[in-house]
Structure formats: structure tokens, C-alpha cells
Amino acid sequence: MLKFFKKKAAKVWAKKHLSDCENFKQNGVQLQEQLLLDLVKRSEKTLFGIAHQFGQIKTIEDFQKSVPITDYEGLKPYIEKIKHGDRNILYPEKPEYFAKTSGTTSGTKYIPLTKEGIDCQVKAAQSAIFHYISQKNNADFVCGKMIFLQGSPELEEIADIKTGRLSGIVAHHIPQYLQKNRLPKYETNIIDDWETKVDTIVKETEKENMTLISGIPPWLIMYFEKLIERNGKKIKELFPNLQLIITGGVNYEPYRQKMQELLGAEVDVVQTFPASEGFFAFQDHYKEEGLLLLTHHGIFYEFIPLEEFGKENARRLTLKEVELNKDYALILTTNSGLWAYSIGDVIKFISKKPYRILVTGRTSHYTSAFGEHVIAGEVEAALKDTVETFPAQITEFHLAPQVNPENQSLPYHEWFFEFEKEPENLEDFRQKLDIELRKRNSYYNDLISGNILQTLKITKLQKNAFQDYAKSEGKLGGQNKIPRLSNDRKIADFLDKLKK
């Protein structure tokens, strides 16, 4: 009887929540403008607000003139003051947390998260679940066990501010009604070594009634493979009531085929777009492409056309100015004190009513050693079409330029693949992949046609090659992701030692 009421209540809450969401779905442009002006007004007495004349800002255009695009390095002097105990620096509210995240140029980043900022993160995650329940008209999973593959919930303190990985911070904000269903236990979650942690999670969960599993795709795959190795069963056999997978961090599509093979039967998947800086979007229709942009969750967005990103006079577009199917660098102003902050993600809009996006790559993750500027969205789409033509299963891949090949031959793109199942004819697969990439990137096509580059080459890797790389960098597990594209051969040189 209790389970019946729990499912019934979840469906009632979900229906009401979707009704409440109609306002932001229909009025995103107006809500965004009001949000920015509210954030500016509240922060005009802060150190950052005084330095950037917030008291004089009355419009979005005023804000863009007064506050330049920045990144972590630009805000670091302010964040260091907060770390030393100063207050009223970036935002009038003291950060509740610092979310620690690794950066390529800044070392460890300390992203401030206010109480209202973390509340928005939690409410966004709840909204994703409510949208799913309402569309599915099924909340059976709320009665089973749920697992969130995440970082350690143990937090340190810096100037009286709790500090840790975002996933560990969020673990402290799981709603009370889900606490009894949640796995793994705290003692397991705080294990530092990721492989030991996953092994322990496997033992803890393999006999449970798992109904919801959440995590980023590479580590879900690692968890599933260990379960199958121990039990000799596909995941849906092991967990027959598994209904929902919630994933984020990287594009799910390149992992979909591998995940389906491990699952052994259909399981619903909801994709999300969270980061330490905020929770930006989620898949509001679990059977349809695109992530609903959250325009009312404490984040004001700007969008720089990707071809202009990094240029002095780059246009800073607002929601009402964006075009469909065009790549934009994502810029954030948040209720945790980030101002015109370049997060490094690239998105494109596939709908304006409501605003839905796809994440197409990173501003720093691309291959352009020869001026081609190939981005993740092009690479993943080319690979998807190739895999569908030549049945293959790919665990992971990486693309890097080979500028100085042996024997003075033409340079080329080198693709490193860890195959779960190789295509029957690797040469045909290679040629098809090259053609598909040429279709999507005219600069790459011109370089091939002009005999500046030769067609791509494929290097096959040993099993667990990418896990070995992550381990070598101290980035195995949690929310760590290996870049799929690079403009140098740092990752490629390591992987080259692990080729078959």
C-alpha cells in the first residue's frame, strides 16, 4: 500500500511541476533579461560590482559594455579573496560551497556555489525526473533502489566554506523521500581509489532491486562490465526492474550502442547538462533529441558565435538573437557570483519553442593543426553514421593530428579506437568515416582534396587503454572525462604505447 501511495504522489507532483514550468518555457527571453538585472542590482555593492559600475547598469547592453567576457583566471583574484575569508566580493551571499574541478591552465579551480545556486542545481535535477515521470506516466522506479555513481561526499573547509567535488556536494542534497532508496552507503562512497570503489559498489548492489542508475557514460560502462563479469548476466537480467538511466557530463550518443549491448534490453535514458558552474539543461522528452535550456534557474546566458570566440569584437548574443543549428560558445552569469564567464562548452539550438540545445563540444577540444577546426559534434555525427553502416561497438575513441609522419608522407588525422567489436572490414569503415567527416567539415574536405592531408588513419587499442590513460593522469572515475579531440599529441603519444 505504501508503494502505491508513493508512486501516486510522484505522478501528482510531476503533473503539477510540468504545469508550473510552462511559464519559463514560453517566456524565456523576458525571464532572462529580468534575471540579469536582478543579479546586477543585488550585487552592485560587492567588490566586483563596484569595480564594474553595476549601479549604472540598466540594460543588457549596459552590462555587456561594463563587464567583459572572462574565465577562471580572470575571476581568480576575487575567488582568492573569498578563500582568504573576505566577503561581499563577487556576490552578496557568502558561498555555501566551493566546487573543486580540474582545469588545464589553472590547476584546481574553486567554483563558488551559493545556497541559492545549489538549490537551483537540486531543483533542476528534480525537474528532469518529474518531466520523465509525467511523460512516461509511470513512477515505479521510486519504489526500488537507486544508485548515483559520484565523487566522495567528504568535504573539507576553506575559510568556513565547505569544499569538494560537485557530485559529492550534491550527495548531501538528495531529497529525504529518496534517502532510504539510495545506494551506495556512505562508507563506500568515500573510498578514494575509483577501481576499489566500483568493485565495492558492485558487491553492494548486485543483489538489490535497482530501478534507477545515474552517472557519466564511461563510468557506467565500467560498473556494468564488472557486474556482468561477476554474475554472467546482462544488466537487465540482473536488474529486471531497471527503468531509468540518468546521464550527463558527455554526449551519450557515442556510448549508446555499447550501453545497449551491456544492458541487454531497452532501458529509458534521460540526458542532462550539469556542471560545477550550474545545471543548464536536461532532456525534457526522453524519446526526443535535445535538452531543454533552463532560463529561470539563476543563470543568465550569452552566446558567442564559435567562429568569433576569442576575438576582440566577438558578438555577445542573447536568447532572442540566436539562430538554429549554429555553434555558440556558452557564457554564464550566475547567482553564485560568476560574471560573463566562459565555461568552455559549445552548444547549438535545435528549437526555440521552447529553447532546446545540443552540446556539440568544447572551445578547447578540437582538432585544427591544419586550419580545419574540426569539433566534437562533427566527429561524433560522422562516427555515428559510420557505425550504423558497418556494425561495430566502440568503447571509447580519441582524435589527434599527426603533423610529422614517417617517410615524409602527408600529415593526417589519427583516430585511436578501443573497439568492443571491430567492424568486419576495417578499411571500408575507415573510408566511410573519412567521407562522413568530409561531408560535415568543408575545410577538412578541402585539405584532403588539395593533397594537404591524406585521409584519416585508425589505430586500434588494447582493452582498457583509456582507463589506463585516465589512471596515469589521476583522473579515473568521478566526473573526469577524457577529451575526444586534441590539437596536440599528448594523449595520442600515451595511447600509441597501448596499440594492438
Condensed to tens digits (0 to 9), the pLDDT of residues 209-239 reads 999 999 888 788 889 999 999 999 999 999 9
Q: Indicate if the pLDDT at residue 150 is higher than 90.
A: no
Confidence of residue 97 (pLDDT cuts 50, 70, 90): very high
Distance (Å, whole) CA 85 – CA 18: 41
> Which comes out higher in pLDDT, residue 140 or 56?
56
- 179: pLDDT strictly greater than 90: no
Q: How far apart are CA 234 and CA 469, in angstroms?
A: 27
What's the rounded mean pLDDT across residues 357-381?
Answer: 84
Give the C-alpha separation, 213 to 29, whole Å: 34
What percent of the chain lies above the pLDDT cut of 70? 96
1-363 maps to which CATH number?
Answer: 3.40.50.12780
Residue 238 to residues 62, 206, 212, 262, Cα–Cα distance (Å)? 58, 7, 13, 11
| pLDDT given for residue 450 in this prediction | 78
Window from 27-41, 274-288, 417-431, 472-486 with minimum mean pLDDT: 472-486
So what's the pLDDT on residue 410?
87
In this prediction, residue 152 carries a pLDDT of 84
Neighbours of 278 (CB within 10 A): 25
Report strand pairing: 182-183 vs 145-148.
parallel
pLDDT at residue 18, rounded to an integer: 83
pLDDT score for 385: 92
Q: Which carries the bigger pLDDT value, residue 175 or residue 93?
A: 93
pLDDT of res. 404: 81
**Mean pLDDT calculated for residue range 86-92:** 96
- Residue 477: the pLDDT is 66
Query: Omega of the bond prior to 218 within 30 degrees of 0, cis?
Result: no
Which residues pair with residue 402 across a beta bridge? 412
Domain residue limits, the chain: 1-363, 366-496
Cis peptide before 184 (omega within 30 of 0): yes
| For residues 370-386, average pLDDT | 87
Mean pLDDT of 50-62: 97
The larger pLDDT score, comparing residue 287 to residue 106, is at 287
**pLDDT, tens digit, 9 for 90 and up, residues 302-343:** 999 988 988 888 999 999 999 999 999 999 999 999 999 999
Give the pLDDT of residue 303: 98
Contact between 345 and 357 (Cβ < 8 Å): no
Least-confidence region, from 91-100, 278-287, 332-341, 483-492? 483-492
What does the pLDDT read at residue 103? Answer: 55
Please, which pLDDT band fits residue 6 given cuts at 50, 70 and 90? Answer: confident
In terms of pLDDT, which residue wins out, 25 or 416? 416
Q: How confident is the model at residue 419 (pLDDT cuts 50, 70, 90)?
A: very high
User: Is residue 476 over pLDDT 90?
Assistant: no
CA distance 248 to 282: 9
Q: What's the mean pLDDT in 471-478?
A: 76
Say which CATH class 366-496 falls into: alpha beta
Mean pLDDT of 102-121: 83
- Say which DSSP state 307 is in: G
Neighbours of 340 (CB within 10 A): 21
**Residue 409 DSSP class:** P
Find the mean pLDDT for residues 96-120.
Answer: 85
Cα–Cα distances in angstroms (integers) from residue 325 to residues 156, 254, 377, in the given order: 43, 20, 11
Count CA atoms within 13 Å of residue 329 on its CB side: 24
Q: Is the pLDDT of residue 474 over 90?
A: no
Reference 221, options 197, 198, 189, 190; nearest CA is 198
pLDDT at 190: 87
The grid cell for 477 is 572515475
Band of pLDDT at residue 2, cut at 50, 70 and 90: low
